[in-house]
Amino acid sequence: MLVPIGEVGVHPSFSETRFFVTKFVKRGGSHNPTHISQNVSRALVYIAGMQDGPHILIVDDHREIRDLVSRALTKEGFRVSTAADGRAMQKVMAEGRFDLILLDLMLPGEDGLSLCRTLRAESNIPIIMLTAKGEEVDRVIGLEMGADDYLSKPYGSRELIARIKAVLRRSQETISKGDSEQKPKSYHFDRWGLDTGARALLRDDGVTVPLSTGEFDLLIALVERPQRVLNRDQLLDLARGRSAAGLDRSIDTQVSRLRKKLELDPSDPQIIKTVWGGGYMLTPPVSRK
């Protein structure tokens, strides 16, 4: 249902939109949609905004939300593309490079969780899940699929922009750490190598396992401090920063996801051990190159 503001309808999933919509109308707007190609419906995808900011892809089947979020992000200097479903998302991604994806959970056809899992298997692009479901189990499932952050509808424009900037900042910091000459280019432990440049796990049989930004940050925190117990607060500070303090249980989710990739038997972990009452510890010795 739309809530009217003058001549403009505002979708209730996106709060704090009165400022953006009203100001956009009064100023005549700076939003200038450009179609990617003539055979792609404008209801599915468009590109907006400046050409030099981070490029954000919004995947949401509600046109009003896509439009409103696009305007808010464009005002902040982001470049924005949108897609209404997974098929449109794949078309857009084939034609451009993106710095972050805002991915709605409830989509027609292939849902957001499935798309998130596929994206994470193929790339390390940061993903923020957007959904009307706010229960903890839904947040955990989104994180388990590889999302870097999670935002429940209705959400405010300020919080959304802050989350985007935080995830982009963590991603850039991760890349900078990997590129730094002061840091090792790789870590080796058990049967694994961690390539800091590619942000990927390399198994001793040559298989490469992609890592999300959150997984990479957490694993770096562990491999730099092997055989040492780290509690959740320490891991939050080391891996994600205090901006994630409200989701401290997400550390448990990230550990679970890493175990599924690292351990021969995730139900009986030998590489990342749980120290009851203490936290987590990477048990094997680590060599650096």
Spatial distance between the Cα atoms of 41 and 231, rounded to a whole number of angstroms: 50
Tokens of 159: 């919080």
Output the CA torsion 114→73→154→99 (10° steps): 20
- β-strands 55-59, 79-83: how paired? parallel
Output the CA torsion 25→27→31→32 (10° steps): 100
Contact 124, 199 (CB under 8 A): yes
Spatial distance between the Cα atoms of 173 and 15, rounded to a whole number of angstroms: 30
Q: What is the pLDDT of residue 176?
A: 54
Q: Where does residue 29 fall: left (phi above 0), alpha (psi -120 to 50 degrees), or beta otherwise?
A: left
92-147 pLDDT per residue, tens? 887 778 899 999 988 999 999 899 988 888 788 899 998 876 666 767 777 778 88
Q: How confident is the model at residue 57 (pLDDT cuts 50, 70, 90)?
A: very high
146-160 pLDDT per residue, tens? 888 888 888 889 999
Three-state secondary-structure class, residue 288: strand
Q: Tell me which amino acid residue 273 is.
A: K
pTM above 0.75, yes or no: no
Q: Where does residue 68 fall: left (phi above 0), alpha (psi -120 to 50 degrees), or beta otherwise?
A: alpha
